[in-house]
Structure 1
Amino acid sequence: MAEFVYRPVVGAALTMFKALDLKIDTQGSQNIPRSGGAVLVSNHISYLDFIFAGLTALPQKRLVRFMAKDAVFKHRISGPLMRGMKHIPVDRKQGEAAYQQALEALRAGEIVGVFPEATISESFTLKSFKSGAVRLAQEANVPLIPMALWGTQRLWTKGRPRNFKRSHIPVTIRVGEPVEAPADQYAGAISRRLRERVQELLEAAQRSYPVRPKDASDTWWVPAHLGGTAPTAAEVRGTL
Structure 2
Amino acid sequence: MQTVRWSDVVRRDLFGPAPDRRDRPYRLVIRVFLVVLKAFGFRFDVRGSEHLPRHGGAVVASNHVSYFDFTYLELGAVPQHRLVRFMAKASVFDHRLAGPVMRAMQHIPVDRTAGLAAFDEAVRALQDGQLVGVFPEATISSSFTVQELKAGAARMAVLAGVPIVPAAVWGGHRVATKNRRVTLRRGVPVTVLFGEPVVPEPGEKTQSVLRRTRAAMAELLDQAQRDYPDAPAGDDDRWWLPAHLGGTAPTPERARDIDRADVQGTAVTPQRTLGQKVRHLLGRR
Q: 1:172 aligns with which of 191, 208, 216?
A: 191
Q: 1:228 aligns with which of 228, 247, 250?
A: 247
Establish whether residue 18 from structure 1 lines up as the match of residue 30 from structure 2.
no
Aligned-residue offset at 1:124 = 0.5
Partner Cα separation in structure 1 for residue 51 and residue 147 of structure 2: 24
Percent identity for Structure 1 against Structure 2: 49
Partner Cα separation in structure 1 for residue 78 and residue 257 of structure 2: 39
Deviation by residue 1:56-84 (Cα, 9 ceiling, x = unmatched): 11001000000000011111111111000
Aligned to 1:206: 225
Aligned to 2:166: 146
Q: Is the 8 A contact 1:35 1:109 kept in 2?
A: yes
Aligned to 2:175: 155
Establish whether residue 110 from structure 1 lines up as the match of residue 130 from structure 2.
yes
DSSP-derived class of the 1:16 partner: helix
Q: Is the 8 A contact 1:221 1:228 kept in 2?
A: yes
Q: Is the 8 A contact 1:41 1:145 kept in 2?
A: yes
Partner Cα separation in structure 2 for residue 173 and residue 212 of structure 1: 18
Aligned-residue offset at 1:159 = 0.4
Q: What CA RMSD, in Å, does the superposition of the two structures yield over aligned residues?
A: 1.0
Partner Cα separation in structure 1 for residue 256 and residue 139 of structure 2: 13
Q: Is the 8 A contact 1:141 1:183 kept in 2?
A: no
Q: Is the 8 A contact 2:147 2:256 kept in 1?
A: no
Establish whether residue 56 from structure 1 lines up as the match of residue 56 from structure 2.
no
Q: Larger relative CO (CA 8 A, sep 6+): 1 or 2?
A: 1
Q: Is the 8 A contact 1:40 1:112 kept in 2?
A: yes
Aligned to 1:75: 95
Partner Cα separation in structure 1 for residue 193 and residue 217 of structure 2: 9
Partner Cα separation in structure 1 for residue 67 and residue 202 of structure 2: 32
User: Which structure 2 residues correspond to residues 25-44 of structure 1 after superposition, within 5 A?
Assistant: 25-44=45-64
1:38 partner amino acid: A
Partner Cα separation in structure 2 for residue 155 and residue 184 of structure 1: 43
1:217 partner amino acid: D
Partner Cα separation in structure 1 for residue 91 and residue 257 of structure 2: 25
Partner Cα separation in structure 1 for residue 101 and residue 125 of structure 2: 18
Residue segments in structure 1 that go unaligned for 5+ positions in a row: none
In structure 2, the CA distance between the partners of 1:238 and 1:42, relative to structure 1 (3 Å rule), is: closer
DSSP-derived class of the 1:146 partner: strand
Q: Is the 8 A contact 1:139 1:183 kept in 2?
A: no
DSSP-derived class of the 1:56 partner: helix
Residue segments in structure 2 that go unaligned for 5+ positions in a row: 1-19, 262-285
Q: 2:105 aligns with which of 67, 85, 88?
A: 85
How many residue pairs get matched?
A: 239
Query: After TM superposition, where is structure 1 displaced by more than 2 Å over at least 4 residues in a row?
Result: 233-240
Q: Please report the TM-score for the alignment, with normalisation by the length of structure 2.
A: 0.82
2:205 partner amino acid: Y
1:115 partner amino acid: F
In structure 2, the CA distance between the partners of 1:238 and 1:36, relative to structure 1 (3 Å rule), is: closer
Q: Is the 8 A contact 2:167 2:193 kept in 1?
A: yes
